[in-house]
A and B are shown apart, each in its own frame.
Chain A
Amino acid sequence: MELFSSFLTAALLAILLQNSIFERALGTNILIYASRKKEHVIGFSLVIIYVTSLSSVIVWLLDSNFSHFKHFGILMPLLYILVISIIYILSLILVWRFFPGLFRKIRTYVHLSVFNCSVLGGLFLNSLHGGSLPEYIGFGIGTGIGFFLAGYLLYIAHPRLNSDLVPAAFRGLPITLVYVGIISLALYAFVGYATR
């Protein structure tokens, strides 16, 4: 029960308080690209959940065994990229071998959903928070769910953000960033914000 509660707490932390988009702005460009189609929002989120949760297990092993090493911090990006790459290539081989239909569907965007700031940043945040294995996995899954939440909120607003009602210069990217900023502001209610 204790393991489950630490898993759940870490997942909720990643979804709400440390949301990769609204709180950390990690993978915003991928989110804007994915939010154009519902299938992309779901596909990208599932890939991110899969990669971050699996990577979290290996990252937990690395962190718990090598974090005392003097130069571990500077080597982290290289190690984490190697972890992500191994999971990416092995998973692609499995999907290509056993689910060729799915492989054809995802191959156009799978690289974008694996090699992005959201996945790598999620692993760094996981390391920053530390904790037990269930917490690492919970945080990894929460990162992907948080991405889905942000993606869905953007997907439903997409037609309005790109409509003629918005001045031409602000249509698309600029108004989308302001919109995400306003949702991010609303989420600050969970964290609490004090002005100086």
Chain B
Amino acid sequence: MSEAPVSEAPVSRAPLSEAPVRPPRLAPRTRTYLWAGGGLLLLVLPFYLDRFWLQAGLFAMAAAIGAIGINLLTGSTGQLSMGHAFFLAIGAYGYCVFAAEGGDGLTGLGLPTWLAAVLAVLLSGLAGGLFSPIAGRLRGAYLGIATLALIFIGQHVLFNARDLTGGFNGRDVPPLSLFGLTFDDRELLVANVPFGSAEKLWYAGLVLLLGCGLFARGVLRGRPGRAMNAIRDHRIAAGVIGVPVARYRAAVFVLSSMYAGLAGVLLALVFQRTVPDYFGITLSLEYLAMIVIGGLGSVSGAVIGAVFVSVLPQLLTRYSDALPLVSAPGTGGVAPGEASRYLYGAAVVAVVLFLPGGLVRVAAGRRFRTDPGEKR
């Protein structure tokens, strides 16, 4: 860290884009076709997949949104956060409180559900903003452990504020309805395929993920992204060249919390019930694992990592009898959940040691390798 890559990054980056070092990139047209093909595939999947796979996919989408958020914070700005689960919980429970009718003895404001979702995201952002006196000042491990406090505060509130959260048993999540379309299990036939909540939510999830991904990409490629990377790579130098460091750190924290809030809303809608146990420290660690495995500081890395970490346990559960070493939960052997934790724990270690940059670098054919702006 003795030589600041900050100031040179934008300069040396420009020639690199035409530099011959890179292996030939896919022609723009091929890329467009790939994107279109992939998008089309995602659009038609609900017509062919059963509920299990759709749910797995939805979890992955929600996780991807959350992972993009934490990657903005931890990957791009270098602020370690172990409190991401707290903001997910605020999103999930905030949505419940705003949207529920309040018939079951729990507080519910009975707002239109789309408004509730928006408010829940804003509420997460607000919570992140309230934490900014700490988030703007602490760094590295100090921040990591301070955010650990959020998890415990969150758990405490979730278990104790029974009127809001339903306590230990959690509370039901009212289905989202938008433009007269309700995302619940009342079946709707589309081209002779019954559309339940999973199918309908699939499209909502896709739209949200696309929006979040594009927004984050915009942030990262523009002025704020450069400032964030500068803060990560050399905080003092960033301050000297005029980046308002504390303000940026607080702002990224808020943005990342809002992403987490949205992921929380989506997760709540998929689960259809929120329980406090879920939003513990394990969840936070999972999100950190996602971005490390996928690739720190990039949107596609976050998405790849999220798919890896969230689909893996479901895959292992589904095929536990066909796999060696994995047995059904409760039979004494390695349960699928544990097996997947071994795998992603090992993946975190292996990626950092042997594959700096994460899976996204492999997918991209290591073409960023010589890019000094990306070096950590």
Query: Do A and B come together as binding partners?
Result: no
| Chain A residues with a Cβ under 8 A of chain B | none
